[in-house]
Amino acid sequence: MPAEERTRNYAQQRARVDELSELGVIDRLWRLPGQMANVGIWSAPSTTDLHHALMSLPLWTYMTIDVEALATHPTVDGRATP
Amino acid sequence: MPAEERTRNYAQQRARVDELSELGVIDRLWRLPGQMANVGIWSAPSTTDLHHALMSLPLWTYMTIDVEALATHPTVDGRATP
Amino acid sequence: MPAEERTRNYAQQRARVDELSELGVIDRLWRLPGQMANVGIWSAPSTTDLHHALMSLPLWTYMTIDVEALATHPTVDGRATP
Amino acid sequence: MPAEERTRNYAQQRARVDELSELGVIDRLWRLPGQMANVGIWSAPSTTDLHHALMSLPLWTYMTIDVEALATHPTVDGRATP
Amino acid sequence: MPAEERTRNYAQQRARVDELSELGVIDRLWRLPGQMANVGIWSAPSTTDLHHALMSLPLWTYMTIDVEALATHPTVDGRATP
Amino acid sequence: MPAEERTRNYAQQRARVDELSELGVIDRLWRLPGQMANVGIWSAPSTTDLHHALMSLPLWTYMTIDVEALATHPTVDGRATP
Amino acid sequence: MPAEERTRNYAQQRARVDELSELGVIDRLWRLPGQMANVGIWSAPSTTDLHHALMSLPLWTYMTIDVEALATHPTVDGRATP
Amino acid sequence: MPAEERTRNYAQQRARVDELSELGVIDRLWRLPGQMANVGIWSAPSTTDLHHALMSLPLWTYMTIDVEALATHPTVDGRATP
Amino acid sequence: MPAEERTRNYAQQRARVDELSELGVIDRLWRLPGQMANVGIWSAPSTTDLHHALMSLPLWTYMTIDVEALATHPTVDGRATP
Amino acid sequence: MPAEERTRNYAQQRARVDELSELGVIDRLWRLPGQMANVGIWSAPSTTDLHHALMSLPLWTYMTIDVEALATHPTVDGRATP
């Protein structure tokens, strides 16, 4: 990717990440040390909405995205379910 | 597991699977050939509800459960998202 | 792949997917969230027929296809087999 | 497993394997060198029938069975499909 | 584990988790759907402190713990580092 | 690979596969559904002879070949060895 | 395994290993550092003969055996094959 | 990478590695035999600082970096924690 | 392992680790956070000597040991080899 | 790699392999059937010397090298160590 295009893409990606954070879709975001790779906590009404949010990232075609579904922990929602 | 207990547990498991199917939580269920293992299509309002449904199976403590979140395909919901 | 060729290929792929769905070869189709990757339930009289259906997809050379054979679940066909 | 029970189970397993071979369900069978493990070519009208044949083996509960679906090769059925 | 011992151990584990949450060592906690397994965001001054916190869980001997170190994301600390 | 070169290579590969089949070196050949990948039963006096047969395939440089050595099954050679 | 039985089994295993070495079936044998696990160079007229030699080890039921077939190197047999 | 650029990059990488060693960020460094790959002991006040140190390496974009967090061993800090 | 035996074994293990550290066989030792598992830098004249040192640990039969051979880094021995 | 360069490189590689064999650094060499890949028994005074020998191969930049350290087997050096 030519340097100029790279800078523009990264700026658009950063802007979209900020938008998604403000919308509460991105809850938390960390970097894996030594990598241009993230671990993130995303939140969406459904998996399909999550898919659309992920695919709205300008750089998604360069990204390898792996989704792990997470349930509320019993210590948080107080339910008796283990 | 003693034979009698096994039979009773399997019957309870079969009954709960039928209940979840009637509720639409279990959409489809297949067997992996040669194994007492299933591939299933489950549907729940949230991952937390899915967790409670899975943990309501009488035999869950003997089960290794791996969940893969699935999004609606663009050919189904017609959205432009790839 | 030049943009024009890409658009044409995707259109042909979408058309073939629709055809296979109408024929009942593709039973269900989902997207893996954040990926241009699918999970699908395909149905064919034999593995060889399935192979020909898969290879009839215009984009198969760009695809990594992994097939998991599924058997009817005892709760569906009522057989005593575990 | 007590020795006597083991001998009896192995004999039943051997008998069932012979039956399935005569029925053409087991086409070929090899041993992985140094292991009580097999590679086999099985043939059944459907994956469900294959499942029932596999689960009819007396020792199936002690077995880890992994099924790889195989399609007829173009050099065999002469079809143009790659 | 006898039922009574199990109940007591789970209660102690729950109490310790609450303590660690109040101390801010456990930041967030989720369940993996269908499993008695968690994903958690832990925070400690050093890896050694994290080790002591993890080993303070009453049930640690029954747990398989895998730690992934996470760095603050550039969008959070504003540093120019990718 | 230019189309013309591809067609010529595939024809040479098909011819060599036929030769090896007639020589009994290739015993059986299947396609993995949805892939230009095979599972084959090859037979050679030694691993070195097998190596030469595999490397005689015109397309071997484009192929990822994984060899699993197979022993005659006790039900076939009647030996008492498990 | 009771200590006495263990000592007897190890002695039988050691004796059989010596026999197989004298017969040239075991060519070379090494230990993986820190493990009761070996890497060995075995030589047999066929995979089936290798299977019988491996299964003749008194401790084979306690062993996990993985066989990698090796071909003579071109620098050794001088053939032009890569 | 053209030879000249490669030489310059390696020299910059070597200089930066020396700097980080002098700063105590790189504690120990070894080569994996037969590879241009290292195992290193790095030390930083936090994972975020470690991330910045790793990303300060001129060749980081060509590197696959995997970080394993290490805690002080009980034999070193004398704590009773296992 | 009964508690008393466990305490005695751990004490013997700790003593042997101290001995090996004093002999310079164990250079460095860390804990993997949340696990009774170590990463260690061991040094021995040969792999065979390393094997004997590892097998001299009282608890070796309960341990899963994986050895990664490390070479001196060019920045340390100044050799021109990459 | 242009054909001429390839032939020259392979010749240099073959010459270096012969040298290392004469020096006793390469003890044994086999081909993995169907691959331009080897399994070899190498012997060097230290892992660092092994590293330099491996990196002296003209084609090392095209090679994926994985080293498994091997210890002398108790049946060979007669030591009581398991």
pLDDT tens by residue, C2-61: 899 999 999 999 999 999 999 999 999 999 999 999 999 999 999 999 999 999 999 999
Q: Under CATH, domain G3-71 is a member of which superfamily? A: Dimeric alpha+beta barrel (3.30.70.1060)
* Residue D71 pLDDT: 97
Closest CA to F35 of F70, F59, F63: F63
Which residue in chain E is spatially nearest to I30 when comparing CA positions? E48
Q: Is the pLDDT of residue A78 over 90?
A: no
* Residue F76 pLDDT: 87
**H or E element, residue D30:** strand D26-31
Residues from chain G contacting residue I47 (CB–CB below 8 Å): 33
Q: Is the pLDDT of residue F82 over 90?
A: no
Task: Find the mean pLDDT for residues F46-74.
Answer: 97
Q: Does F60 sit within 8 Å of J33, measured CB to CB?
A: no
Instruction: Report which DSSP code applies to J43.
Output: -
Q: Is D52 on the interface with C (CB under 8 A)?
A: yes
The pLDDT-based confidence of H27 (bands split at 50, 70, 90) is: very high
Q: Does D50 sit within 8 Å of B34, measured CB to CB?
A: yes
Which one of E51, E69, E77 has the shortest CB-CB distance to H67?
E69
The mean pLDDT of chain H is: 95
C: neighbours with 3+ CB pairs under 8 Å?
A: A, B, D, F
Q: Is F51 on the interface with J (CB under 8 A)?
A: yes
Which one of E47, E48, E65 has the shortest CB-CB distance to I35?
E65
Q: Is the pLDDT of residue G52 over 90?
A: yes
Question: Helix/strand/coil (H, E, C) string of chain H?
Answer: CCHHHHHHHHHHHHHHHHHHHHCCCEEEEEECCCCCCEEEEECCCCHHHHHHHHHCCCCHHHCCCCCCCCEECHHHHCCCCC
* Residue G41 pLDDT: 98
Backbone angles phi, psi at J42, to 5 degrees: -110, 150
Q: Distance (Å, rounded) from C-alpha I18 to C-alpha I30?
A: 14
Task: Find the mean pLDDT for residues A50-78.
Answer: 95
Q: Is the pLDDT of residue F79 over 90?
A: no
**H or E element, residue C54:** helix C47-55
CATH number of H3-74: 3.30.70.1060
Parallel/antiparallel/unpaired status of strands J38-42 and J26-31: antiparallel
Q: Is H35 on the interface with I (CB under 8 A)?
A: no
- Kindly state the tokens that stand for E18: 């609450």
I: neighbours with 3+ CB pairs under 8 Å?
A: E, G, H, J
The mean pLDDT of chain G is: 95
Q: Which residue has the tokens 């893996």?
A: C32
Bridge-partner residues for C28, per DSSP? Answer: C41
The pLDDT-based confidence of G16 (bands split at 50, 70, 90) is: very high
Contact yes or no for E34/B65 (Cβ under 8 A) = yes
Residues from chain E contacting residue H67 (CB–CB below 8 Å): 69
Residues from chain H contacting residue E55 (CB–CB below 8 Å): 81-82
* Residue B72 pLDDT: 96
Q: Distance (Å, rounded) from C-alpha H22 to C-alpha H38?
A: 18
Q: Distance (Å, rounded) from C-alpha G40 to C-alpha G54?
A: 11
B: neighbours with 3+ CB pairs under 8 Å?
A: A, C, D, E
Q: Is D64 on the interface with G (CB under 8 A)?
A: no
Q: Distance (Å, rounded) from C-alpha C17 to C-alpha B71?
A: 17
Q: Is the pLDDT of residue B29 over 90?
A: yes
The pLDDT-based confidence of B36 (bands split at 50, 70, 90) is: very high
The pLDDT-based confidence of H68 (bands split at 50, 70, 90) is: very high
In chain H, the percentage of residues whose pLDDT exceeds 70 is 100
* Residue H82 pLDDT: 81
In chain A, the percentage of residues whose pLDDT exceeds 90 is 87
Q: Does F67 sit within 8 Å of J32, measured CB to CB?
A: yes
Residues from chain F contacting residue G69 (CB–CB below 8 Å): 47, 50, 67, 69
Q: Specify burial of residue G22 (Cβ count, 10 A radius: 0-12, 13-18, 19+).
A: exposed
* Residue A79 pLDDT: 75
Complex ipTM, two decimals? 0.93
| Spans of all domains in chain D | 3-68
Q: Which residue has the tokens 């050949």?
A: F29
pLDDT tens by residue, J26-48: 999 999 999 999 999 999 999 99
Q: Could you say which residues of chain E have pLDDT below 50?
A: none
* Residue G76 pLDDT: 87
Q: Is the pLDDT of residue G79 over 80?
A: no
Q: Is the pLDDT of residue A81 over 90?
A: no
CATH architecture group of domain D3-68: 2-Layer Sandwich (3.30)
Would you say how long chain G is, in residues? 82
Q: Is B76 on the interface with D (CB under 8 A)?
A: no
Q: Best mutation site among G16, G20, G26, G47 for testing chain D: the one with the most D CBs within 10 Å?
A: G47
Which residue in chain E is spatially nearest to H45 when comparing CA positions? E46
Bridge-partner residues for A38, per DSSP? Answer: A31
* Residue C59 pLDDT: 96
* Residue B35 pLDDT: 96
* Residue I82 pLDDT: 81
- Does the structural domain J3-77 have CATH classification 3.30.70.1060? yes
pLDDT tens by residue, B57-79: 999 999 999 999 999 999 888 77
Backbone angles phi, psi at I38, to 5 degrees: -115, 155
pLDDT tens by residue, D25-68: 999 999 999 999 999 999 999 999 999 999 999 999 999 999 99
Identity of the amino acid at G58? P
pLDDT tens by residue, I43-70: 999 999 999 999 999 999 999 999 999 9
